[in-house]
């Protein structure tokens, strides 16, 4: 018997997560007294891309965000675990709901190939797709310096 799934409303949590992450990148850069040009030079990420990310663009790849987070001493957690484990967290959350990849992709509004890329840990996946998957599966994001994340300030 096939179950009917309604697409979850991920707009508010997704926007909140994206905004928190983008603000953390911006605030950390300012706290370190670095310009966008300096961070771009140190990280290999273009100045334009950094500016767009700080202004909320979430189509940036996970690998670029991880590079910036490491440089700026930002810890990113998904459901309390390091971002490096997001693929396993998404897979486990999907399985706990007893959804096939195909059903979950439809439920989340993602293509099957995008969900497979997320679950396989592909670093080229965009933050936008990660936010959609994690928010739809009820996995919350936290971002900030390690002390802020532990204290729950983000």
* One-letter-per-residue 3-state SS of the chain: CCCCCCCCCCHHHHHHHHHHHHHHHHHHHHHCCCCHHHHHHHHCCCHHHHHHHHCCCCCCEHHHHHHHHHHCCCEEEECCEEHHHHHHHHHHHHHHCCCCHHHHHHHHCCCHHHHHHHHCCCCCCEHHHHHHHHHHCCCCEEEECHHHHHHCCC
- What is the assigned CATH class of domain 11-148? mainly alpha
- Over the stretch 57-102, which tens digit does the pLDDT of each residue have? 778 888 888 899 889 988 888 888 888 899 999 999 999 999 999 9
Give 16's pLDDT tier (boundaries 50, 70, 90): low
pTM of the predicted structure, to 2 decimals: 0.77
Report whether pLDDT(10) > 90. Answer: no
């Amino acid at each position: 018997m096939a179950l009917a799934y309604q697409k979850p409303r991920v707009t508010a949590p997704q926007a909140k997560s994206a905004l928190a992450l983008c603000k953390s990148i911006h605030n950390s850069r300012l706290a370190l007294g670095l310009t966008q040009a300096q961070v771009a030079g140190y990280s290999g990420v273009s100045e334009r891309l950094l500016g767009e990310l700080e202004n909320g663009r979430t189509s940036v790849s996970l690998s670029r965000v991880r590079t910036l987070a490491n440089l700026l001493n930002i810890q990113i957690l998904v459901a309390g675990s390091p971002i490096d484990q997001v693929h396993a967290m998404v897979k486990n959350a999907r399985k706990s709901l007893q959804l096939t990849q195909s059903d979950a992709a439809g439920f989340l509004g993602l293509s099957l190939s995008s969900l497979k890329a997320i679950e396989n840990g592909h670093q080229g996946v965009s933050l936008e797709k990660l936010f959609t998957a994690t928010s739809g599966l009820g996995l919350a994001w936290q971002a900030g310096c390690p002390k802020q994340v532990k204290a729950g300030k983000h």
